[in-house]
Amino acid sequence: MLKYDTTIGLEVHVELATKSKIFCGCSTEFTSEPNTHCCPICLGMPGAIYVTNRKVVEYAVKAALALNCEVEKVSGFDRKLYFYPDIPKAYQVSQYEVTLAKNGYVLIEVGGKTKRIGIGTLHMEEDAGKLIHEEGKPYSLIDLNRAGVPLIEIVSKPDMCSAEEASLYLNKLKTVLQYAGVSDCKMEEGSMRCDINISMRPSGSKTLGTKVEVKNLGSFRAVRRAIEFEQKRQSRILEEGGTVEQETRRWDESKGCTIHMRGKIENRYAPEPNLSPVIVDQKWIDQIMKTMPELPDARKERYINNFGLPDYDAEVITSSKKLSDFYEDCVKNYNDPKVISNWVMVEMLGLLNETGVSIDEIKFKPKQLAVLFELMGNGTISGKIAKEVFREMFNTGEDPEAIVRKKGLVQITDESQLQRIIRDVIDQNPKSVQDYKNGKQKALGFLVGQVMKLTRGKANPQLPNKILRSFLDET
């Protein structure tokens, strides 16, 4: 049986977070009231004169620089001729002949290695409106609030070869753009959208297979599933000696498969005569560069070099801006970056995964977590109890001190109090005591466990062991 290699490229659309649209002053803010953020320009009225929003160019350049692209000094706008009612002008203003930027890349960590995924081009364009198809009605409705919202389209090179790599690339794009502050990149809400180009060829072959495009992917999970589905579908066709059709397919989330949407179409473009060229000189680039915040790769390096975090931990924490900002805030309040990163990696991510809560919804503040570390550090509570307190903080947002007080969780460090409990444990477990005396070290562990049980985990973990030994060895 032949084995096949997969080649994947992604076309990603990202909404820029400017306050107004790309060619008019209408608000980009989301509203559920249809057709309220519209004017003659974004409604496509004949004769409406439009100009380019300078802020959109600034954000797009910032995105391009953050993605290591070369920015063109002069680019321009073109009309993508397009006959579909979600665009009232019958063309979409986009960039085709010369795009704003090209030749960028991002780095992903895959299988313990760093891989570079190339970005072919990055260009600006306007978003379309939204068609609403009401069940059983012989017509469709149109909401043009989204028409004219600024987008950048980022076209990767066909450098990915698995669903995992595509997913890592997508997440890296999202992280970089969020760090740069140019988009919130929420795929579920449509501010980040992704189309897949995927082809397969016999292993070792130099010629790329026929490319299939997949659209309508509403989540990272959908992207992964669609790629895995296409890998199976295309390799089955090839194994049976068939040929893969060049086509556009649509991901069907409920059926978990891709469905034929349309055959190959050639898009046609014409120059846009209403808009002046986009000119980005070095001075402007320098100004934008000055406003560039620390990006994820740099932040990861800093965590490794200054905080002494392992590569893997630094990667996980910086792969989400929200998580990383949260972590930084904790470090500002409690100066032990390694302890905090361990806690964040194990306890916090564990609870987030377990409960499905997102980092935005966390109820406690980094400062409160710092207090928890202090309580642990000064011996007020044991590490075991700290986990219990943390869970409570996570559920309620309450202060750790209040939880400790309310639940009576202060660590027992008073030896005389412990001695009494330990005497009881020894009296009640003569067999284990005998086992220990016969040289079974395991029996000691059992007795310590009994003490912890009676103290509900509040005993300072070093003490029961020490006291038990001294009692057992003296009798």
Q: Which is nearer to Zn ion, 26 or 222 (CB)?
A: 26
If one asks whether residue 147 binds Zn ion (CB under 5 A), the answer comes out as no
Q: Which of 208, 226, 205 is nearest to 217 (CA)?
A: 226
Ramachandran bin of 200, using left for φ above 0, alpha for ψ from -120 to 50, beta for the remaining angles: beta
The smaller minimum CB distance to Zn ion, of residues 88 and 461, is found at 88
User: In whole angstroms, what is the distance from residue 217 CA to residue 204 CA?
Assistant: 30
444 binds Zn ion (CB under 5 A): no
Buried b (16+ CB within 10 A) or exposed e, 57-76: bbbbbbbbbbbbbebbeebb
The answer to the question of residue 93 lying near Zn ion (CB under 5 A) is no
**Shortest distance, position 149 Cβ to Zn ion, whole Å:** 10
Report the Cα–Cα distance between both ends of the chain, in Å, rounded.
73
Contact yes or no for 16/8 (Cβ under 8 A):
no
Alpha helices in 252-382 (DSSP H): 282-290, 296-307, 311-318, 321-333, 337-343, 349-355, 366-377
Closer to Zn ion by Cβ: residue 79 or 321:
79
Instruction: Return the number of the residue (127 or 195) whose C-beta is nearest Zn ion.
Output: 127
Interface mask (CB under 5 A) for Zn ion, residues 28-67, using x and -?
A: -----------x-xx-------------------------
Closest CB to Zn ion among 147 and 404? Answer: 147
Min. distance of Cβ 106 from Zn ion in angstroms?
33
Measured distance CA(328)–CA(334) in Å, rounded: 10
Instruction: Tell the smallest beta-carbon distance from residue 177 to Zn ion (Å).
Output: 24
User: Does residue 151 bind Zn ion (CB under 5 A)?
Assistant: no
How far apart are CB 22 and Zn ion at their closest, in Å? 10
Of 24, 317, 372, 463, the one binding Zn ion (CB under 5 A) is: 24
Q: Any alpha helices (H) in 36-138, and if so which ranges?
A: 54-66
Helix ranges, 89-162 (H): none
User: Should residue 26 be labelled a site residue for Zn ion when binding is judged by CB under 5 A?
Assistant: yes
State which H helix or E strand residue 420 sits in.
Answer: helix 415-428
Q: Based on CB atoms, which residue is closest to Zn ion, 51 or 259?
A: 51
Read off φ and ψ for residue 169, nearest 5 degrees.
Answer: -60, -45
Give the DSSP letter of residue 115. Answer: E
Q: Which residue lies nearer to Zn ion by CB, 26 or 226?
A: 26
Shortest Cβ 53–Zn ion spacing (Å): 11
144 touches Zn ion by CB under 5 A: no
Residue appearing with tokens 């140019």 = 182
Shortest reach from residue 144's CB to Zn ion, in Å: 9
Q: Which is nearer to Zn ion, 39 or 107 (CB)?
A: 39
Q: Is 87 in the site for Zn ion (CB under 5 A)?
A: no
Interface with Zn ion (CB under 5 A)? 24, 26, 39, 41-42
